Amino acid sequence: MREHRIAAIPGDGIGKEVIAAGLDVLETLERRDGSFRLIVEQFPWGSDFYRKTGRLMPADGVAALKLFDAIFFGAVGDATIPDHVTLWGLRLPICQGLDQYANLRPARILPGIVPPLRDCVPGDIDWLILRENSEGEYSGSGGRVHRGLAEEVATEVAIFTRIGVTRIMRYAFELARKRPRKKLTVVTKSNAQRHAMVMWDEIAAEIARDYVDVTWDKALVDAMTTRMVSKPKSIDVVVASNLHADILSDLAAALAGSLGIAPTANLNPERRFPSMFEPIHGSAFDIAGKGVANPIATFWTAALMLDHLGEPAAASRLMTAIERVTADKSNHTPDLGGTATTLQVTAAVKHAIVSANA
């Protein structure tokens, strides 16, 4: 029996609801498959933990996570605590401490989902957005002096290293090579940002020489937003800096139907440390506690996690179940225009897993 150790961190708001649903579905898959076991430990970290202890997680939290094979994360964010405190107290220390430098965000229109673009049909959007996840604009470098005075200065320094850019470019070309269309778009802003982004472009061109089978092009980030809307079929794999991909991937999630569907994987590709899997969305104060959060993003996230753990059969069984469920509009939660609850969608996916032949 193959065993995988999972650290589950539900976090805040709907994070708790969707991770509970995700673990429920994973348990069903485990029983259906019968050849692997998930040993799950839950960590009550997040804003409630902060209110009790003054920290989002214990000081040795990241070290504790190193003992696991993967991390299954909900969301962090609280209406009464500033977002930079919650984000830098939990999610970013995990990503940086475990060197999860590759953030993968697939975007695809699932069956039954009506995308917001008028002429867009399922198949038009099948993208893999790769976000540099360890440096760039979110390196945390900078500071403030003369606080509150008229002379106050604040800097937020984007850090790009040759090692950091090289490894993300190489991973991007590897991903593109594995896809049927073998296309990569390198997002840049080297017209206006003439230091780091010029190095970014140069390194992309250097790495490209090792991947002659991959067709690649460059797009300025502003032009990329219009291309995603007006020529979605021209896009396959996309690589972009931390900030650029943060924005583009939210747009991608919306174009594919809803934030409630979009998954992401924070990967340490060399597997020196565990990778972290989470839905893209946040804690959603507006719907938290109402039982209507869409759990599909978390289920898709669980499929990415199973794939990473070396359980491709269970991953594809889960994806098939998800697609069967989204195809039926009676399973749509309010974000998709329906009236289904989190529990109803979860029950439908479990049923689809159990009743599938293959």
Catalytic residue list contains 307: no
Choosing from 66, 83, 210, 222, the catalytic residue is 222
For residue 175, the minimal CB distance to Mg ion (Å) is 20
246 binds, among ligand NAI, Mg ion, none (CB under 5 to 8 A by kind): Mg ion
Decide if 246 is catalytic: yes
> CA 114 → CA 10, 71, 175, distances in Å?
29, 31, 28
Question: Does residue 350 have an active-site annotation?
Answer: no
Q: Which residues bind ligand NAI (CB under 6 A)?
A: 14, 75-77, 83, 87, 91, 259-260, 278, 281-287, 293-294, 297, 333, 335
By C-beta, is 196 or 262 nearer to Mg ion?
262
CB of 158 to Mg ion, least distance (A): 17
Gap between the Cα atoms of 333 and 34, Å rounded: 31
Which residue out of 16, 69, 189, 236 is catalytically annotated? 189
Between residues 95 and 340, which has the closer beta carbon with respect to Mg ion?
95
- Closest distance of CB 231 from ligand NAI, Å: 26
d(CA 315, CA 321): 10
Binder of residue 61, out of ligand NAI, Mg ion, none (CB less than 5 to 8 A by kind): none
Size of the residue set binding Mg ion (CB under 5 A)? 1
Nearer to ligand NAI among residue 82 and residue 312 (C-beta): 82
> What does 262-318 look like in DSSP terms, one character per residue?
-EEEEE-TT-SS-EEEEESS---TTTTTTT----HHHHHHHHHHHHHTT-HHHHHHH
Tokens at residue 175, please? 């991903």
Residues 6+ away with beta carbon under 8 Å from 43: 7, 8, 9, 57, 61, 64
Return all residues near 72 (Cβ < 8 A) that are at least 6 apart.
Answer: 6, 7, 8, 9, 19, 22, 23, 40, 276, 277, 278, 301, 302, 305
CA–CA separation, 348 vs 353, rounded Å?
Answer: 9
Give 41-44's long-range contacts (Cβ < 8 A, gap of 24+).
41/5, 41/6, 41/7, 41/8, 41/68, 42/8, 42/9, 42/10, 43/7, 43/8, 43/9, 44/10
Q: Which helix (H) or strand (E) holds 80?
A: none
Site for Mg ion in 219-248 (CB under 5 A): 246
- 259 binds, options Mg ion, ligand NAI, none, Cβ within 5 to 8 A by partner type: ligand NAI
Q: Which CB sits closer to ligand NAI, 175 or 276?
A: 276
**Residue with token string 């079929």:** 233
Name residue 39's beta-bridge partners: 5
Is 137 an interacting residue with respect to Mg ion (CB under 5 A)?
Answer: no
The interface partner of residue 125, options being ligand NAI, Mg ion, none and the CB cut-off 5 to 8 Å by kind, is: none
Nearer to Mg ion by Cβ, of 188 and 264: the residue is 264
Helices and strands of the chain, counted as H and E runs = 12, 12
The whole-angstrom distance between residue 262's C-alpha and the CA centroid of its chain comes to: 7
Catalytic-role residue among 24, 201, 250, 328: 250
Q: CB of residue 92 vs ligand NAI: minimum separation in angstroms?
A: 10
Query: Catalytic site residue 222?
Result: yes
Could you say which of 16, 69, 78, 138 is catalytic? 138
CB of 164 to Mg ion, least distance (A): 20
Query: Cα separations (Å) of 261 from 80, 257, 334?
Result: 26, 7, 12
- Residue 294 binds: one of Mg ion, ligand NAI, none (C-beta under 5 to 8 A by kind): ligand NAI
Q: How far is the CB of 291 from ligand NAI (least distance, A)?
A: 11
Smallest separation (angstroms) from ligand NAI to the CB of 339:
13
Q: Which is nearer to ligand NAI, 47 or 185 (CB)?
A: 47
Nearer to ligand NAI, 204 or 282 (CB): 282
Encoded tokens for 36: 């692997």
Q: Which does 174 bind (CB under 5 to 8 A by kind): ligand NAI, Mg ion, none?
A: none
Which parts of this chain interact with Mg ion (CB under 5 A)?
246
**Catalytic residue ranges:** 138, 189, 222, 246, 250
